Amino acid sequence: MFTATGDDWADRAAALRLHTRMFIDGEWVEGSAEPLTPISPRDGRRLPEISAASADDVDRAVRSARRAFESGSWSALAPRERGQRLLAFAQRIHDAAEELALTISLEMGKPIREALQTEMRAVVNCLRWYGEAADKILDELPVTAPNSLALVTREPAGVVAAVVPWNFPLTMTAWKLAPALAVGNSVILKPAEHSTYSALRLAELAYESGIPAGVLNVVPGAGHVAGRALGEHTDVDVVTFTGSPEVGRRFLGYSAASNGKRVWPELGGKTASVVLPDADLERAVRATADGCFYNQGQMCTASSRLLVPKAQRDRALELAAEAAMATRPADPFAVSTSMGAIVSEKQLAAIAGFVERAAAEGGEVAAGSADRYEAVKGGSYFAPAVIGVTPTFEVARREVFGPVLSVIAYDDVDDAIAIANGTEFGLAAALWSNDLNAVHTLSRRLRAGVVWVNCFEEGDMTIPFGGVKGSGFGRDKSLHAIDKFTDLKTTWIELA
């Protein structure tokens, strides 16, 4: 399971049955907005049109979600029963993992191997984890005066809107759905335009697992139409969002202009990987390059800045360039492929622009170029680039969301920390050293929600994930995510 084998993935993709309508109240319905016209980045082929939600359609989905919530069909179930159904949902996803992985690969270009091995495994794990946690969440009974009894209980927030990106389409979705559903909310999911088919199939599996009509509605559509309508709806209680800083801030604005709903933004990043002089340079560079190129660089945590001591800069640049040159984009449907297609032509052009401007600014391009790469005819591919720069370069400050690694030299540890903390973001950082004191003191000084020491991208469902500063303040995973989707109620009883 979760291992991609065989060479018939293209045939299997051609035979996929893709859903193309909205899923509201347990039914497939046509949307009334301009349909989506997806293109597979693998080969530029047009995929079936998807019916899209207008603001009125979103309103219909919100009313359905509210009705379901008020009916108690899900919100009033015993937590153990909700947990059981989430486990059943996880099992159905497990059983459909190959089909879902292939759908993701087709729609956003991720290699089938990664879609199955990493993404689908993470989705199943996440749903299982919250399914198991559903009846293990405790309320509080604070100690008060003898003639009183105070209960602090958690209540589901109500109607939750989840607006997610395409880079880990089902993982991001599971991170939102699982905790929100575990505690009894109704959820409306607005998938990214580039990853809608997989979201629609997920909704069907949820429904088949006993998650009642209206409890999970999916509204495909354009961000500025369907996403915005959710953000502005006065009967949505919570927005949980993963995406770009720009859109995340828009949601805060939608909230302010409507009902003051809670918005949980989880936004971009510009992860610095700080290599201290005592570290194994080769190992650190290799892990940093892999962390930057993984998922075609379309990672909020991508280790896009490698910070090395001045004396080791040239060697680091050389090692990083070797790692880049060893990573060639290839057909996402071949099981040996580790780097697939860039999500869209637009994204490809944006990435190329960063490399072009970095070169024009005087960056030392040690690997790659601004040119596209042809792995499959008609597809959108980009070979990794490594560029020696200083911290003020555009490519060293802005999120590229593509396989472009900036290598930066630092003078001393204080300089390294200043550079690492010197962007608008604060999602993740990495430190490479075996000096116990340096590891502890420096990880405290790094302004990031996640610090990896002598590793990259490690973690599991028990730990929270999210950032500080411009990376937003929402936290996914772990029991902390439950806080986003519940309200605390105090019941004070005066005893006679």
Active-site residues, by number, are 266, 300
Q: Which stretch binds ligand NAP (CB under 6 A): 160-168, 323-331, 352-360, 373-381?
A: 160-168
Query: Within its chain, how far is the Cα of 288 from the centroid?
Result: 19
Closest CB 227 distance from ligand NAP, rounded Å: 2
**DSSP string across 13-62:** HHT-----SEEETTEEE---EEEE--B-TTT--B---EEE--HHHHHHHH
Kindly tell me which of 201 and 228 has the beta carbon lying closer to ligand NAP.
228
Kindly tell me which of 25 and 107 has the beta carbon lying closer to ligand NAP.
107
Burial classification of residue 342, based on how many CB atoms lie within 10 Å of its CB (0-12 exposed, 13-18 middle, 19 or more buried):
buried
Among 26, 35, 210, 223, binds ligand NAP (CB under 6 A): 223
Q: Is 269 in the site for ligand NAP (CB under 6 A)?
A: yes
- Structure tokens belonging to residue 93: 């996803």
Strand partners, 265: 241
Among 84, 103, 209, 242, binds ligand NAP (CB under 6 A): 242
Backbone angles phi, psi at 33, to 5 degrees: -90, 175
Q: Is 222 in the site for ligand NAP (CB under 6 A)?
A: yes
Closest CB 398 distance from ligand NAP, rounded Å: 10
Kindly tell me which of 331 and 476 has the beta carbon lying closer to ligand NAP.
476
Among 33, 203, 213, 267, binds ligand NAP (CB under 6 A): 267
**Coil vs helix vs strand at 161:** strand
Contact 195, 224 (CB under 8 A): no
- Structure tokens belonging to residue 369: 């170029």
Q: Which stretch binds ligand NAP (CB under 6 A): 83-91, 95-103, 186-194, 354-362?
A: 186-194
**How many other β-carbons are positioned within 10 Å of the β-carbon of residue 235?**
14
Q: Is 228 in the site for ligand NAP (CB under 6 A)?
A: yes
Q: Is 389 in the site for ligand NAP (CB under 6 A)?
A: no
Q: Is 304 in the site for ligand NAP (CB under 6 A)?
A: no
Return the H-helix or E-strand segment holding 492. strand 486-494
| 22/462 Cα distance (integer angstroms) | 33
Kindly tell me which of 118 and 242 has the beta carbon lying closer to ligand NAP.
242
| 22/52 Cα distance (integer angstroms) | 7
Contact 430, 448 (CB under 8 A): no
Among 107, 193, 232, 331, binds ligand NAP (CB under 6 A): 193
Q: Which stretch binds ligand NAP (CB under 6 A): 37-45, 217-225, 284-292, 414-422?
A: 217-225
Among 80, 136, 224, 440, binds ligand NAP (CB under 6 A): 224
Contact 488, 152 (CB under 8 A): yes
- Structure tokens belonging to residue 129: 């984890």
Using CB under 6 A as the criterion, what x/- string covers residues 392-421 for binding ligand NAP? -------x-x--------------------
Kindly tell me which of 108 and 409 has the beta carbon lying closer to ligand NAP.
108
Q: Is 197 in the site for ligand NAP (CB under 6 A)?
A: no
Q: Which stretch binds ligand NAP (CB under 6 A): 123-131, 190-198, 370-378, 387-395?
A: 190-198
Kindly tell me which of 127 and 267 has the beta carbon lying closer to ligand NAP.
267
- Size of residue set near ligand NAP by CB under 6 A: 28
Closest CB 467 distance from ligand NAP, rounded Å: 6
Kindly tell me which of 167 and 288 has the beta carbon lying closer to ligand NAP.
167
Contact 22, 35 (CB under 8 A): no
Q: Is 41 in the site for ligand NAP (CB under 6 A)?
A: no
Among 212, 214, 231, 340, binds ligand NAP (CB under 6 A): 231
Nearest to 376 by CA among 48, 112, 98: 112
Q: Is 165 in the site for ligand NAP (CB under 6 A)?
A: yes
How far is the CA of 437 from the CAs of 42, 346, 440, in angstroms? Answer: 47, 45, 5
Contact 289, 326 (CB under 8 A): no
**How many other β-carbons are positioned within 10 Å of the β-carbon of residue 161?**
31
Backbone angles phi, psi at 428, to 5 degrees: -140, 160
Nearest to 244 by CA among 260, 259, 258, 223: 223
Nearest to 127 by CA among 189, 174, 180: 174
Q: Which stretch binds ligand NAP (CB under 6 A): 218-226, 376-384, 390-398, 453-461?
A: 218-226
- Structure tokens belonging to residue 213: 């009509």
Q: Which stretch binds ligand NAP (CB under 6 A): 67-75, 216-224, 327-335, 374-382?
A: 216-224
Q: Is 470 in the site for ligand NAP (CB under 6 A)?
A: no
- Residues of the shown chain interacting with ligand NAP in the complex, contacts defined by CB under 6 A: 163-167, 172, 190, 192-193, 222-224, 227-228, 231, 242-244, 247, 250, 266-269, 300, 399, 401, 427
